[in-house]
Structure 1
Amino acid sequence: MKEHFARIIEGIGEDLNRPGLVDTPERAAKAFAFLNRGYSETVEQVVNGALFPSDSSEMIMVKDIELYSLCEHHLLPFIGKAHVAYIPTGSVLGLSKVARIVDMFARRLQIQEQLTVQIAESIQEITNASGVGVIIEAQHMCMMMRGVEKQNSVMKTSAMLGSFRNNPSTRMEFLSLLR
């Protein structure tokens, strides 16, 4: 990646021998690998067995999980927060694992719509929950720094599975907990 970043920098007309740019290709390659570290993880590795027996059948929600991702169309960041809820059926997921699942999928080249679905489907599969709801709200640099340059726009996406999709009262409880 280092050589590719060097070619990109030269491609915009910069001099790689300029003192501020001498080590930039290597730093950029390391940063890009870090920002996309989700490719080296699996859901099984992230969860690491942290699924615990529980009699709870009430909604569990983790709110305001910050996320950072790169838009797969422009390689520019989008930054926001995820709200994840599920209704357990015999087992609960370790609290930090919800945030780690969000991070794993966010740290890949993404579109927000797919990120939302990936998180919901993974939580559903891992926990066998009767329902899962995920809402993500994010600001996209590809819309703020270029193109239409709208600084105050926020994109919101949702994925509702099981009882969150089929039961209006479950969906309303989730949405009311977000306020």
Structure 2
Amino acid sequence: MASTTLSPWGLMEPSGVRKRIVMWRTGSSSEGAFTLLEVLVVLVILSLVGTVTALGLPNARDRVRLTQVGAWLDSMLADLRGQARREGRMRWVEFDMEARRYRVSDAAWRALPPDVALSFEHRRPATGSTPVIAFLPDGTGSEVVITMQAGAYSSVRHIGWLTGLIRRANH
């Protein structure tokens, strides 16, 4: 008489034909369903994740906005310094903080980017009532510290008077 062997894939007949093992389920039909407690735990976890994400979004927007304004300011100041050296004449940018606007040399006034506060600290005596950052043909510049603030984030730009180079430090 031929024997039947048990393999991991089911019962094997002597002829090599597999037979499936039929497993009958015992117990109630609700055994595979989730309980109300399990569903509530999942909902609480999802709501906590959603809350943490939603609370972090305004801060992320502030940081992105500060990064964008910082890149704009770096680009504008570097361009002015380059123009002063190429053209052999002084170039400057003037800021009117009360009206939230700026102008490059004698060009028309333009609006400052919104949602970011700018403050200026001149390390050398400044002339006039509005902050001015100047670059001379020899590459020197006004020694100014510019602080940008957006929400909880701030970023500082320091313009060196001897080199006119713009250094940054994020906080």
Q: Same fold (TM over 0.5)?
A: no
Scaled by the length of structure 1, the TM-score of the pair is 0.24
TM-score (norm 2): 0.25
Which one has more relative contact order, counting CA pairs under 8 Å at least 6 apart?
Answer: 1
